[in-house]
Every structure is written in C-alpha cells, then in structure tokens.
Amino acid sequence: MAAPPRLLEPAPDWTADEKPMLPGSPAAIDHPAYKRLLYFFIGLFVAVSGSLSNGFITANLPLIQGEYGLTPSEAAWIPAAYAMANVSANLILFKARQQYGLRLFSEIGLVLFIAVLMLHIYVHTFEMAVFVRIASGLAAAPLSSLGMYYIMQAFKRANFGRGLYLALGFQQLGIPLAWVMSPYLTGVNDWMLLYTFELGLALCCLAMVVSLKLPRSLRIAVFEFQDLFTFALLASGFALLCIVLTQGPILWWLNAGWLAYALIGALLLIAAGLTYEHYRANPLIITRWLGASSTVRFIIGAFAIRFLMSEQSYAAVNFLKTMGMGPDQFVTFYAVIMAGIIGGTIFSALTFSREKTILHLLGAVLLILIACALDQHLTSAVRPENFYLSQFLAGFASGMFIGPLLLTGILSALQKGPSHMVTFIVLFSASQTFGGLVGSSFFSSYQQMRTQHYQAEIINDLPLASPQVQQRLLSDGQSSRAYTPDPALEQNQALRALHQRVTEEAQVRAYSDVIFLNKLFALLLLFWGLFIIAASQYRSYKQRLRPDSS
C-alpha cells in the first residue's frame, strides 16, 4: 500500500465541519451573510468571464476568418486549439491545486489569462492566433474551478451540492452571452474593442479574487516525475483527436489521407498513456476503475448527453445561418437560450437531492426529446422566433443536467477514495469535450451526406423539360435581363438561381433529418436510463426478499 501524501505545511486548527473534503479544496468556513453574497457574486463573475473568452471566438469565427483571410479548414484550427488545450489541462490541474495551493494557483492562472488576452490585442497573424487560443484554453481550466469554489463558499456545507449545481450551470452562460453581446462590440469590426473588453473582464476577476481570497486548503506533495510522461502521451493523443474531429467534416474524411494517420496516432498515444498508467505504482489515472461497470455506465451516459446537446449548437444555429440569418438576428435567440440555462440551473439547485440526480438527468434527456420533436419539420420560412420554445427547453436541459452529472461521478469516485478524483476529473472533462466535438462532427457529416442525397433526388424529380421548370427559368432569366443583354449569360444566371433553390431545399430537408436522428438518439438514451433504474430497483427488491443471513 502506498504511503499517504506528505503535508507541505501545517494544517490550520480547523473544526471537523470546516476541514476541506479533499486537499486542494478550500476550507468550509462559516462566513457572515454579507461575505457569502460577495463570494457568490465573485464566483458568478469569474465563472462567466472564464467561458466568455471562448464564446467570443465561437460567435465571431466567420468574422475572424475574414479578418485573417483564412479558409474554413484554417479557421477551424482556432476553436480546436482551445479545446485540445482545455481538455489536456485537466490532467494536471487537480494535482497542481493540491501541491501548490488553490489560492496561489488560481491567482497565477488569472495572471496568465490576462497575459493571454493582452496577446490578443497584438495578434496579427493566423499562427499567433492559434497560439493564443492554446494558452487561453490552458488558462481557462483553473478559472472554471475558481468560479465553482467561490460560489460554493456562499453556501453552508450541507448545501454545497446546490452551490455546485449553480456554479456548473452558470459556467455554460459564456457562449450564449457572447452571442448576445458580440453585435454591439463588433458592429464596426473594431476588434481592439472586443479584445480590450475581454481584458477588462479578466482584470476585474483578478482584482476581486485578490481582494477577497478563498479560505486556505491543505497542501500535499503529490506530483511525480512520471506524471509528466503520462501528460505528454495523453495530451498529445487528445490534441490529435480534437484535430481529426474538427477537420474531418470540412476536408471530408476520405479526401484527406493525413486525417487517418492523425487518428491512428491519437489512438496509439492514448493507449500507450493508459497502458503506462496501468503498471505504475502510484498512477495518475487509475485504469482498473475505468473498467468497472458503474464507471462504464457513467462514461456512456456523460458522453451521450453532451452528444445530444451538441445538436442545439449545430443544427438550429447552422440552419438559420443557411437561411441567411446574421449575428443581429441571433441576439434574442441566444437570450432565450440563456434564460433556459438559468432556469434549468436554478431548478436543479432548488430540487437538489442525491436521490434525484438520476431523475434530473432523465428529465434533461426528455426535454431534449421534446425540443427535437418541436423542431423536426423545418421549412425555408422558419426564422429564429420559431425556435424560441424548443431552444428554451434545450437550454433548460443544459442547465439541469451538468450539476447532477458531476455530483454522480464525484460520489462514485469518493467511495473508492480521494486517489480516484484525478481519474474522475479527466473522465468528466474528456466526456464533455469529446461528446460535444463528436456530436458536432457527426451531425455535420450526416447533414452533408443527406444534402447531397436530396439534391440528386430533387433534380431527378425536376426534369428541365417540364413546363414548371421552364416557367421558373424564364422568370429568373427575365429578372436578370436588366444586368446582362447576353441571352447565354441570362440562361446561365437562371440555371444558377434554380440550383441555389434546389440546394436550399436539400439543406432544409437534411437539417430536418439531423434533428430527427437526434430525437431517436434521445429516445434510446431515455429508454436506457429507465432500464438502468428498473434493473437497480429490481436488484434492491430481490435483496430485501433475501432472508437475514445472521
């Protein structure tokens, strides 16, 4: 049995109720009411600010692509760089907090975050933009933990679960808030204003956390040199996997041979990292726990729910963009999503109970199922206001599921011992990151294939010799006659207009198929969850029927 970790400094004279649940976590001090309010406000500000940076990039990616003159493939490297850095940072984040202290680590993280945002102001090349996103992804990881712990300090220890729910739910507000704010910050393409605004937010965060510090935590010696080797293997594998998932739908899977080599390299590096961990005396990742049935169920459930949620950010938004909607028309759309996230977060916190976590998760899946049913039948006349109800429900589900999901995993890890927490954090982060990436990649690829299928189908059903098609070509040709006196060009313009209408109709049908497919996935996940609950209840019933062995 491994020796317990060595304390790096004497522990304060905490009471049993004040002692941190885990090294690296702040003590549970009984603060006065005004101080609890300050902790909550600072935690909310930090949690939202940490996700706003990535949200601004997501919301303004087409404009950034135009600013640097990038192809769609090159532009996709910018969000991919953030994702690969953020998921890898969680491999060492937990141990870093335990060894160097949460307060010092968070302040260093904030200073790094500010330095990254200052780099944004001076970025004028594509390569530097990618580097800044990598650094931003690394810096955003400690900010998420910092916001969570500040919000939890606003609650008594018995209600820490409610604080956890609120913290994780509010962290999801960054992307919709960025969409709401971006048109007002980039209305005249003043990128300096956007980056300066982000920098101001980060400086406010630093001023807040320095003015009101978190309570102390236990510091223990946990880092080993072997951890760096594991990090190098797994982080490289995760990075290659992020690249494959973001580039695949754009370059197309079978047209870019290097994607296959990148995928093989990702799988080999991840397999090598896990194999190395399996035979370590004091592993960073406890691989034997990964094979437990409860852990496998958690991985599948966490990945599947995030996969379902990715349809919200892909199908509705990209469909409206295809129909010609611009950033200004998404302001109210994302305000509705924000309202849904806030509502779902507050609902899950108010109804908090360890026994109800599975009900919250199933409720979120049910809401996604209803949202897909509302959106399934799309037409070219659909506008953002037609999505308000469904996207509110999807946002409500997003706010409702994340807290119970994390709590379920934490309780399972703590039952095995504190050493399992690093494994769980990596699992949770990876399931959410790759669930979203795989979902977007899958739905994008499926939509493109269905669009090609419907294009061929519509063209076959519309022979050029039919009177209806000839009438449409004549009408389009007459409308372009004012711009060109050449009959051949006039005919080409009419054919081009017809092709655009065919493509638009094919895309409408393809997006409807995407939503329908996601509805089927949600239905399967709902039935799977109900089956697990029924099986658990049956085992408990059989256990109660057994005679007392004593």
Nearest Cα neighbor of 143 from 91, 83, 194, 86 is 86
Q: How many other C-beta atoms are found inside a 10 Å radius of the C-beta of residue 73?
A: 12
End-to-end CA distance of the chain: 33
**CATH number listed for the domain at residues 16-223:** 1.20.1250.20
What pLDDT score was predicted for residue 202? 82
pLDDT of 265 strictly over 90: yes
pLDDT of 480 strictly over 60: no
What pLDDT score was predicted for residue 446? 92
pLDDT of 505 strictly over 70: yes
Q: How many other C-beta atoms are found inside a 10 Å radius of the C-beta of residue 220?
A: 19
Residue 426's pLDDT band, with cuts at 50, 70 and 90, is confident
Region of poorest pLDDT, from 139-148, 293-302, 399-408, 410-419:
410-419
What pLDDT score was predicted for residue 549? 46
pLDDT of 449 strictly over 60: yes
Crossing angle of helices 160-170 and 126-153, rounded to 10°: 160
pLDDT of 22 strictly over 80: no
SS3 20: coil
Residue 408's pLDDT band, with cuts at 50, 70 and 90, is confident
pLDDT of 478 strictly over 70: no
What's the chain's length in residues? 550
Residue 1's pLDDT band, with cuts at 50, 70 and 90, is very low
Residue 467's pLDDT band, with cuts at 50, 70 and 90, is low
Residue 269's pLDDT band, with cuts at 50, 70 and 90, is very high
Question: What average pLDDT does range 331-339 have in this prediction?
Answer: 91
- What single letter denotes the amino acid at residue 380? S
The reported pTM is 0.87
73-124 pLDDT per residue, tens: 888 888 888 888 888 887 787 777 778 777 777 777 778 778 877 776 776 7
**CA 118 to CA 411: how far, in whole Å?**
40
